[in-house]
């Protein structure tokens, strides 16, 4: 059962990301956060996991360590730990893209199941969205990302390998299928 904490987290996430949109579609960013939270909830995640899913991008996109401390104050240590584990950077400006992503994947490899569960839901939803963008707009969609075509593809391939090793199952399998379809569209 979700309580008032979930409602508070939903309002907090909505306010934090109010001016943010998805890179290619222009859809309000809250749609991504709700999708990730939905995946976690539908897989049996408890309220802390669902709240962390709503807030998983707050630190890296909306205020860094100050935001992490606010999440800890409002929603507790476990939620803050999961959000921190899902964040690839807390400082601004962010470190260079490739080393930051490499370090993030390495941290995820050693993270606990709570962190990897939210991170896997995030990667799965992002890959699904990217696939739709490529279907709609073509390969040019990949150039909207800091990693460009090659870096973005490397990142998703690396995420597939990571999650198939650490968390084999339906989500990792689906992530693999989605990334394989992205690869097939790119190679055309």
DSSP letter assigned to residue 18? T
* 60 in catalytic set: yes
Distance of CA 54 to the CA centre of its chain: 10
The one catalytic residue among 46, 47, 61, 167: 61
Map 19-59 to HEC letters: CCECCCCCCECHHHHHHHHHHHHHCCCCHHHHHHHHHCCHH
**Contact yes or no for 162/115 (Cβ under 8 A):** no
User: Closest Cα partner for 118 from 20, 176, 32, 25?
Assistant: 32
Phi, psi of 33 (to 5 degrees): -65, -40
CA distance 59 to 64: 4
Q: Which of 48, 60, 122, 133 is catalytic?
A: 60
Our answer to whether residue 61 is catalytic in this structure is yes
**How far, in whole angstroms, is CA 177 from its chain's centroid?**
18
Known catalytic residues are 60-61
């Amino acid at each position: 059962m979700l309580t008032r904490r979930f409602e508070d987290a939903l309002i907090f996430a909505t306010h934090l990301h109010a001016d943010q949109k998805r890179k290619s579609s222009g859809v309000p960013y809250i749609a991504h956060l709700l999708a990730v939270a939905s995946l976690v909830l539908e897989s049996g995640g408890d309220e802390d996991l669902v709240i962390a899913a709503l807030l998983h991008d707050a630190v890296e996109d909306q205020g860094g360590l100050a935001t992490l401390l606010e999440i800890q104050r409002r929603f507790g240590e476990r939620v803050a730990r999961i959000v921190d584990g899902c964040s690839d950077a807390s400082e601004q400006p962010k470190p260079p893209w490739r080393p930051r992503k490499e370090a993030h994947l390495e941290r995820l490899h050693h993270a606990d199941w709570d962190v990897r569960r939210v991170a896997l839901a995030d990667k799965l939803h992002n890959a699904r969205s990217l696939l739709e963008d490529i279907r709609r707009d073509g390969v040019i969609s990949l150039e909207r990302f800091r990693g460009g075509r090659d870096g973005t593809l490397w990142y998703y391939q690396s995420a597939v390998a990571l999650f198939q090793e650490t968390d084999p199952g339906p989500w990792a399998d689906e992530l693999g299928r989605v990334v394989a379809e992205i690869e097939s569209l790119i190679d055309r």
